[in-house]
Each structure stands twice: as C-alpha cells, then as structure tokens.
C-alpha cells in the first residue's frame, strides 16, 4: 500500500505531506517532560516502540522488546539513537575534530545529522536487500568483505546488525581491520543480561522459529553477557559504559527517554592492548 502510494504521489508532494504531518505531531506531543537531543524538541511523551514477544521478555532483552517513550514524535530517533548521539556529542570529539566515519545501516535520525557535519568524511553504507528503500546517498557495503583499505576509519558505527549475521566473528574482524589504530567502533546489539552464553543454533532457519527463539524473524542469535568477549576475540579493547557513570555531567538523564538498562559498547582498536 505504502509503495503504491509512493508511485502515485510525486516525491516533492510526498515530502511536503510527511513534513507537515511531523509538524502536527510535534505540536500535539509538545510538553516539558522529555527532550530529544537529536532534534532539540521537547515533548510531554514519546511514542512507544518495539515488539512484545515472549522470548524478549523471558530473556529480559536490552535493546529489544516493547518500550513506552521510545521514539521521538518528530525526528523518530529511538532511545538507542539518543544514547549514541549523547555519547558522541558530549563524551567524544566526534563533532569537533576531522573524522572519517563508516556508518553501517545508518539510523535515519542519526544519518540526517551526521550527513550535514562539515568535520566528517562520512560513508553511510548498507547491504541492500531487494525491495527495501534505504534513502539516497547510502552506498552498498558487505560487512563480511568491506571494500575499504585497512586502517581507513576513525569511527565505525554499526548498531543492531551483528545479530543478523551468521558469521559475526568475520564481521567484527572486518570492522576491526578498517579502523585506524586507536579508532573506535560503536557496536550495539540487543542482548540478554541473564544469558551467560550467547544462544545461537544454525538449524533454526524459518522466519517463525527465528522470531520464537531469537525475537525477530531475521535474527540468528541472542547475545548473552559473553558479547564483550566475542568482540575481544576480534581484537577489540571493549569499554562497556553504564549511562549513570559516564553521563553524570549531563545531570538527570530521564528527560532524554533513554533505556537506562542499555550499556554502550565502545570498541577500540588498541593494537597489542592485551600486553599494555
Ligand atoms: Zn527528535
């Protein structure tokens, strides 16, 4: 239905309808309780998001499952987007220094900001799937065989992608390879804080079974608390950042409608870090 409408309505008119609708919704939700750091607007509530599946509840998945106050009514940033934005803006030099950035499967709300930053040499990229639209200006990249030279990027941002890839170790190694020495990657995934060992089973292949066991029709695993050691196996030094510790300079984080349980996985290419 949506794609049929896209064919009938000229793109410029479609854009105008969409932006008018977002303005109406921004007005409707305007209030003082929440602030979206990405678009800068204030709201009385955010939109709910996510799916209410039994396995997500049972495994207490962080970064998955239904959440109230998840999505910004205006820029559509999710709680995860806002967490990453706050980290990059206030805890790194991402916005202030020249940076070469690979952004895999870019989140639209972050893409719109990063794409306009003059200090970034920005490569938004994704592996295209037939029939899906990713937006203009996004190039093709295969995370298992990246087309970039070793040591190209200061940053790789790749969120909620690894849980889709059977050979996630190879994907992690590719990300590590294309980073410059001392480069950093933000690699968020949905994970279970009560699962010690990542659950994966290559015999679970149907959409319905994957949804039942992994929480989404195209996921191939549920990461457990060993996610960090899987990243370390690819060579990374992993800094796991709890919001309350790292973001205390920002004061009360409640207004940003983050998921307080979500940790940031900041993965650094510190060569020979184990011997430091
Ligand atoms: Zn927003």
Domains and CATH numbers, the chain: 76-275 (3.40.50.150)
Q: How far apart are CA 41 and CA 19, in angstroms?
A: 15
- DSSP labels, 52-88: --HHHHHTT-BT-S-EEEEE-TTT---HHHHHHHHHH
Q: Say how many Å lie between the CA of residue 219 and the centre of ligand 1.
A: 27
Q: In this predicted model, what pLDDT tens digit does every residue of 53-92 receive, in sequence order?
A: 899 999 999 988 889 999 999 999 999 999 999 999 999 9
Q: How far apart are CA 134 and CA 127, in angstroms?
A: 10
Q: Say how many Å lie between the CA of residue 1 and the centre of ligand 1.
A: 27
**Are the C-beta atoms of 162 and 189 separated by less than 8 Å?**
yes
Whether this model's pTM surpasses 0.75: yes
Cα 13 to chain centroid distance, Å, stands at: 30
Q: How far apart are CA 266 and CA 269, in angstroms?
A: 10
Q: In this predicted model, what pLDDT tens digit does every residue of 236-261 receive, in sequence order?
A: 999 999 888 777 778 888 999 999 99
Q: Say how many Å lie between the CA of residue 36 and the centre of ligand 1.
A: 5
Radius of gyration of the chain (CA): 19
Q: Say how many Å lie between the CA of residue 85 and the centre of ligand 1.
A: 11
Tokens of 121: 């040499």
Q: What angle do CA 40, 183, 115 make, to 5 degrees?
A: 35
**Are the C-beta atoms of 180 and 269 separated by less than 8 Å?**
yes
């Amino acid at each position: 239905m949506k794609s049929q409408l896209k064919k009938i309505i000229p793109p410029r008119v479609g854009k105008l309808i969409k932006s008018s609708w977002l303005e109406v919704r921004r007005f409707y939700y305007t209030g003082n309780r929440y602030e979206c750091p990405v678009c800068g607007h204030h709201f009385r509530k955010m939109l709910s998001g996510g799916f209410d599946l039994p396995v997500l509840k049972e495994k207490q998945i962080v970064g998955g499952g239904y959440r109230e106050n998840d999505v910004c009514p205006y820029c559509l940033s999710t709680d995860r987007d806002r967490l990453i934005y706050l980290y990059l803006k206030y805890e790194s030099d991402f916005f202030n220094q020249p940076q070469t950035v690979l952004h895999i499967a870019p989140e639209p709300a972050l893409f719109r900001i990063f794409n306009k930053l003059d200090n970034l040499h920005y490569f938004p990229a994704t592996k295209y799937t037939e029939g899906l639209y990713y937006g203009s200006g996004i190039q093709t990249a295969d995370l298992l065989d990246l087309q970039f030279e070793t040591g190209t990027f200061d940053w790789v941002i790749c969120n909620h992608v690894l849980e889709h890839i059977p050979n996630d170790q190879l994907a992690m190694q590719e990300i590590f390879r294309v980073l410059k020495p001392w480069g950093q990657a933000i690699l968020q995934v949905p994970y279970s804080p009560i699962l010690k060992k990542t659950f994966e089973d290559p015999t679970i292949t149907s959409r319905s079974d994957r949804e039942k066991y992994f929480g989404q029709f195209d996921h191939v695993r549920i990461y457990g608390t060993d996610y960090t050691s899987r990243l370390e196996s690819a060579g990374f030094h992993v800094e796991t950042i709890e919001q309350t510790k790292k973001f205390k300079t920002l004061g009360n984080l409640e207004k940003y409608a983050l998921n307080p349980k979500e940790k940031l996985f900041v993965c650094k290419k510190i060569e020979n870090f184990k011997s430091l």
